[in-house]
Chains A and B, each alone.
Chain A
Amino acid sequence: MDGFPILTTMMLVPLAGGLLCLFAGNAASRGIALATTLATFALGVLLWINFEIGGPQWQFTERAELFEGFSYALGIDGISLMLIMLSVFLMPICILASWTSISKRVGEYMAAFLFMEVLMIGVFAAQDLFLFYIFFEAGLIPMYLIIGVWGGDNRIYASYKFFLYTLLGSVLMLIAMFWMTSQAGTSDIPTLMQTDFPADAQFWLFLAFFASFAVKMPMWPVHTWLPDAHVQAPTAGSVILAGVLLKLGGYGFIRFSLPMFPEASGELAWLIFALSMVAVVYTSLVALVQHDMKKLIAYSSVAHMALVTASLFAFNVQGLEGAMMIMLGHGLVSGALFLCVGVIYDRLHTREIERYGGLSINMPYYALFFLLFTMASIGLPGTSNFIGEFLALAGIYQTNTWVALICTTGIILGAAYMLYLYRRVAFGDQKNEDAAAMPDMDAREWTMMGAIAAVVLWMGVYPESFLAPMRADIAALDARIASAAPADDSQLADGPARAKAANAIEYDDHDGGEH
């Protein structure tokens, strides 16, 4: 792989596909989009295979001075790698999900998704502050169009709210970025991650970045755009929104807020904890009373993301790893849940929970997959979310037992609203005739569900594949922020020391290279 600009190639392939789709007919653009996203996914697999675990922190770096004021610098570490993999994995599934449900202006729709993919890869691979910002903000345009053109009845309101909310959050971050680059004299992200900004300045910089990431995340109380956007977006739009775009907030915290402003992060951890605790309990309760399936899953996303923020600010390895694993797991599971909604929405054209019932009788395979993803969302052992939630809560507990207690209630409430949803949709009597007449999943839907289910189980059974690439980066981050950790109240008593750290990198040993 030496010298081959694989990251740029991964961005150029969907870009070219997107431009082609703009000019292709309906049927052709579906094929082009699927082929392009599959090719990008193949490149992503190649990227993962060639990623050297335990190698240099930044790999596949590319740099070109094409622009004035910032540079075209790309490169990934394990954290970026995992999020890029999530994006390129979900993309072909999104295209498949829109195969029949989108019938008007298919070329433009596929182009919007492919451009979205370019931006998502770019945002995780950018190594220049302003390049990151460009990719970060540019996502507004395709998403605005996806919601506005192909969305539901109230799409105009949802698209405006999504656009203006996230734009207002982001612009202040730009001002902070200018200040940082003028102080540090560079906009190179790896350098800035090692730069110690004055503590009083960190406070303001942290708040400026927080304004942006909190909206993207989204954290309570700035989460209100998300239910609207999710409900109105087409199925694939919801998948990509929940699967990848929400991860931008978490990625921002892990890449910028924590390493660049460690002192301010420690000082303001209480704020994050407070907002997260409110979000976990409040949005879970809100999810319990929803009548709209998509809205329910949207609120559950807010609750899961609150767990991510709380564990990020636990300032320990378990918390950081847990946050990353929840993000990956939630990306898959919430995406899959939106697909589950999409499957029955395509048949009955309603998201009202009351209109369904007893689906396990006429759609047994669908009910099986829906159950699997419901359980995964709850965090059943053996599924992806269990790993993340367990690590996250263990991490939070080390720092603050009360926060851990409140966050755990979120998991219990999560079980309540998900099981309640499942019972109303899949179990019980077939009270609606039209719902009872729906056919089970076809081959296309099987492919989408099966692919995600396989990865969900893989992540649940053997999380090492996903944790190994990130381990060194998270250890480095933990070392960087350790000195600023907030006071903990759990008073853990250290047992006898182990020969090796539990998460030591053993890539030279027998289980090395497993991924």
Chain B
Amino acid sequence: MDFAASFALITPELILTGAGLALLMVAAWGGDKSSRFISIAAVTALFAAGFSLVPGLHFGTDGPEVLAFGGLLSVDSFALFAKALIYLAAIACLMIAPAFFNGPAAGIERGLRAEYPVLVLFAVVGMSIMVSANDFMALYLGLELNSLASYVLAAILRKDGRSAEAGLKYFVLGALASGILLYGMSLLYGFTGGTAFDTVRAGLTGEIGTGALFGLIFVMAGLAFKIAAVPFHMWTPDVYEGAPTPVTAFFSTAPKVAAVALTARVVFEVFGDQVLAWQQIVMFTALASIIFGALGAIGQENLKRLLAYSSINNVGFILLGLAVANAAGASAMLVYLFIYVAMSLGAFVALLMLRSEDGQLFETFADIRGLSVTQPAIAWCLLLTMFSLAGIPPLLGFYSKFVIFQATVDAGLIAFGAIAIAASVIGAFYYIKFVKVMFFDEPADVVKGKSGTAHWVLLFLTAAIISPLGYLLTPSITDLADKAANALFLTV
């Protein structure tokens, strides 16, 4: 395969890298005054990159012609699906940022910093590489590019203690996880003689040796950290709470999609012949995430912290699809990811809209008491989001659980599915607490601030997606997810 074809395959990454570098220059010379222009340009670049995915998504791509750079990257339908979701989430997170950073909630450092959109762009490039990585080296490059940008994003409010703390925690623990991942990769390299996914896979046939098994477990542990699955979830609540809210919204959507997609590709393409070796790990992690995510959330007063636990809980359900270890499970997982991104964005946008008259953000349960009287539109959208996260029909969140559990039961893991679905009821408890506080309690009457158009548009858009209308989307989403999942299993 020649270089031209390889470059054609990575058009979206080229667009984003080019835009990122150019905008970095603009930021360097234009300063924070140019942040509005940079944001718009970054959103445009993301849209352009997204458009370049459309033909591939529509017709489905797989087979040998999707391998770029001698098999370092694999731009198949699976990668395209994940990329599309990542770009959409990143666009949303760029749109909601200015109102936050320009308001007093950003503390003494008012104003959107020019680096913010640039860092988001670089993080997105990293994620793009992650989801199409077909070699451990490419995987690590993408992961680190994304992680480094994310550490800075978490700490972007330099003079805010919580933000700095979140950035530092994220960095220290992230570095540890990267180390674990690298160690696992080196073990696999040592025992199989290659870093390319197909080489490692070829070296892992038959009974797995102890060394290679250690490699597999270390890789799984490193990935579990990145997707914030129990028992590697400890960083999530602190980072989610400390990071500025638009950044938290970003963390809970785009990188989550990338890390989950990456994990899926690694377990299916690299460890595809060793299902029994990792299936138990994933099953344990999934159940533990569902249960601890739900239990941890119950006592929380801070809404961002609560949503962090909710994201851990949701990762558990996503991992259920992975534990099924077939194409149906992978497809269900992708559908879940799509719906999860919509719900998560909706929740965070609503949080960003809880402002006082002078623009301060509210983020505890006490502040949203009686919100349905003072701000009915936000309250009703949050109600939809919360019932949807709890998986109550007729909201779309139910459909995400529907596909996951259907795949679980179809694969014969009935007892496992029954335990997991019973555990999901624990989660319902704190989701309906949201509704209780907003609708049943006497108004605290503090949320009086006006919100920008971008917030309203996103809020209503996500509310429309997770409302019963979203079910009309299910045939097309399932079609795309099926294509993507099949691309993943083509090599099996």
Q: Residues on A close to B: CB < 8 A?
A: 66-69, 105, 108, 130, 133-135, 137-138, 140-141, 144-145, 148-149, 155-156, 159-160, 163-164, 167-168, 171-172, 174-175, 178-179, 181-182
A179–B414 Cα distance when bound, in Å, is 8
Q: Within 8 Å of chain A (Cβ to Cβ): is B436?
A: yes
| Residues of A with C-beta under 8 A to B406 | 69, 178, 181-182
Q: Cβ of A141 and Cβ of B392 under 8 Å apart?
A: yes
Give CA–CA (A171, B428) in the complex, Å: 12
Cα separation A155 to B372 with both chains bound (whole Å):
17
Interface status of B402 (Cβ within 8 A of chain A):
yes
Of all chain A residues, which has the CB nearest B403? A69
- Assuming the contacts A148-B436, A148-B439, A171-B425, asked whether A66 and B393 have C-beta atoms less than 8 A apart, the reply is no
Q: Which residue of A lies closest to B390 (CB)?
A: A167
Contact, CB under 8 Å: B410 / A144: no
**Closest CB of chain A to B68's CB: distance in Å?**
32
Contact B472 A66 (CB under 8 A): yes
CB–CB B421/A174 < 8 A: yes
A138 with B393, Cβ < 8 A, contacts A69-B474, A175-B417 known? yes
> When A130-B402, A174-B405 are in contact, do A145 and B439 touch as well, CB less than 8 Å?
yes
Contact mask for chain B residues 333-375; partner A; CB cutoff 8 A; 1 contact, 0 none: 0000000000000000000000000000000000000001100
Q: Are B409 and A144 in contact (CB under 8 A)?
A: no
Contact A163 B432 (CB under 8 A): yes
Please tell me if the beta carbons of B471 and A164 are within 8 angstroms of each other in the complex.
Answer: no
Q: How far is the CA of A138 from the CA of B440 in the complex (A)?
A: 19
Task: Say which residue of A148, A149, A168, A175 sits within 8 Å of B414 (CB atoms).
Answer: A175
Q: Does B268 contact A (CB under 8 A)?
A: no
User: B403-423: which residues lie under 8 A (CB-CB) from chain A?
Assistant: 403, 405-406, 408-410, 414, 417-418, 421-422
Number of contacts between A and B (CB, 8 Å)?
94
A134 near B405 (CB under 8 angstroms)? no
Contact in complex: A138, B429 (CB < 8 Å): no
Query: Chain A's nearest CB lies how many Å from the CB of B37?
Result: 39
Which 3 residue pairs are nearest across A and B when measured between Cβ atoms? A178-B409, A134-B393, A68-B478
- Tell me the dominant secondary structure on chain B's binding face: helix
Contact A137 B425 (CB under 8 A): no
Asked whether any CB of chain A lies closer than 8 Å to the CB of B299, the reply is no
Per-residue CB contact flags for chain B residues 125-167 toward chain A (1 = under 8 Å, else 0) read 0000000000000000000000000000000000000000000
Q: Are A69 and B478 in contact (CB under 8 A)?
A: yes
15 A-B residue pairs with Cβ-Cβ distance under 8 Å, sorted by A, are A68-B474, A68-B479, A134-B398, A135-B394, A160-B436, A164-B425, A167-B392, A168-B422, A171-B421, A171-B425, A174-B421, A175-B414, A175-B421, A178-B406, A182-B406
Q: Which residues of B contact A (CB under 8 A)?
A: 372-373, 387, 392-394, 398-399, 402-403, 405-406, 408-410, 414, 417-418, 421-422, 424-425, 428-429, 432, 435-436, 439-440, 471-472, 474-475, 477-479
Q: Which residues of B contact A108 (CB under 8 A)?
A: 372
Report the Cα distance A299→B403, complex, angstroms.
Answer: 39
CA of A135 to CA of B424, assembled, Å: 19
Asked whether, in the complex, the Cβ of A171 is within 8 Å of the Cβ of B422, the reply is yes
Nearest CB of chain B from residue A412's CB, rounded to whole Å? 39
- The residues of B that contact A141 with a CB separation of less than 8 Å are 387, 392
Task: Report the bound CA distance from A13 to B373 in whole Å.
Answer: 27
Interface residue from B402, B409, B435 paired with A69 (Cβ < 8 Å): B402
CB neighbours (8 Å) of A145 from chain B are 435, 439
Q: What are the residues of chain B within 8 A of A160 when measuring CB–CB? A: 429, 432, 436
Residues of A within 8 A of B429 (CB): 160, 164
**A180 to chain B: closest CB distance in Å?**
10
Pick the contact of A155: B373, B418, B440, B477 (CB < 8 A): B440
Within the assembled complex, what's the spacing in Å between the Cα atoms of A66 and B394?
Answer: 14
- Chain A residues near B402: list those with CB within 8 A: 69, 130, 174
Known: A67-B474, A178-B409, A182-B410. Is A172-B428 also a contact (CB below 8 A)? no
Supposing A69-B406, A167-B428, A171-B422 touch, asked if A156 and B436 sit within 8 A by C-beta, the answer is yes
Shortest distance between the CB of A350 and any CB in chain B (Å): 22
Q: In the bound complex, do residue A149 and residue B440 qualify as a contact, i.e. CB atoms below 8 Å apart?
A: yes
Residues of chain A within 8 A (CB-CB) of B440 are: 148-149, 155-156, 159
CA distance A66 to B473 in the complex (A): 9
Does B436 lie within 8 Å of A138, measured CB to CB?
A: no
- Which of chain A's residues have a CB closer than 8 A to the CB of B471? 66-67
Q: CA–CA, A134 to B479, complex, Å?
A: 22
CB closest residue in chain A, given B387: A141
A137–B392 Cα gap in the complex (Å)? 7
Q: Which residue of B lies closest to A181 (CB)?
A: B406
For A70, give the chain B residue with the smallest CB separation.
Answer: B402
How long is the Cα–Cα vector from A413 to B302 in the complex, in angstroms?
A: 52
Residues of chain B lying within 8 A (CB to CB) of residue A144: 432, 435
B424 engages A171 (CB within 8 Å): yes
Provide the bound-state CA to CA distance between A144 and B424, in Å: 18
**A70 vs chain B, min Cβ distance (A):** 8
CA separation between A172 and B372, bound complex, in Å?
A: 33
Residue of B nearest to A172 (CB): B418
**A contact residues around B477 at 8 Å (CB):** 68
| Interchain CA distance A133-B392 in the complex, whole Å | 10
A134-B398, A167-B428 given; 11 more Cβ-contact pairs under 8 Å: A66-B475, A67-B474, A69-B403, A105-B372, A141-B392, A167-B425, A175-B418, A175-B421, A178-B409, A182-B406, A182-B410
Complex Cα gap A133–B405 (Å): 14
When C-beta atoms are compared, the residue in chain A nearest to B417 turns out to be A175
Report the nearest A residue to B428, measured CB to CB: A167
A138 and B396 alpha carbons, distance in the complex (Å): 12
**Residues of the A chain whose Cβ atoms lie less than 8 Å from the Cβ of B439:** 145, 148-149
Is A138's CB under 8 angstroms from B421's CB? no
Q: Decide: B418 and A137 in contact? CB cutoff 8 A.
A: no
Distance in Å: Cβ of A16 to nearest Cβ of chain B: 14
**A92 vs chain B, min Cβ distance (A):** 24
Q: Which of A69, A134, A159 is B394 in contact with, Cβ under 8 Å?
A: A134
CB distance from B371 to the nearest CB of A (A): 13
Question: Roughly how many angstroms separate A286 CA and B414 CA in the complex, as a whole number?
Answer: 39
B residues in contact with A175, CB < 8 Å:
405, 409, 414, 417-418, 421
With A138-B394, A163-B432 as contacts: A172 and B422 at CB distance below 8 Å: yes
Give, as a whole number of angstroms, the nearest-CB distance from B335 to chain A. Answer: 9
Tell me if A159 and B422 are in contact (CB < 8 A).
Answer: no
Which B residues are in CB contact (< 8 Å) with A167?
392, 425, 428
Closest to B433 in A: A160
With a cutoff of 8 Å between Cβ atoms, the chain A residues found around residue B410 in the complex are: 178, 182
| Shortest Cβ gap from B116 to chain A (Å) | 37
Across the interface, which residues of A come within 8 angstroms of B432, CB to CB? 144, 160, 163-164
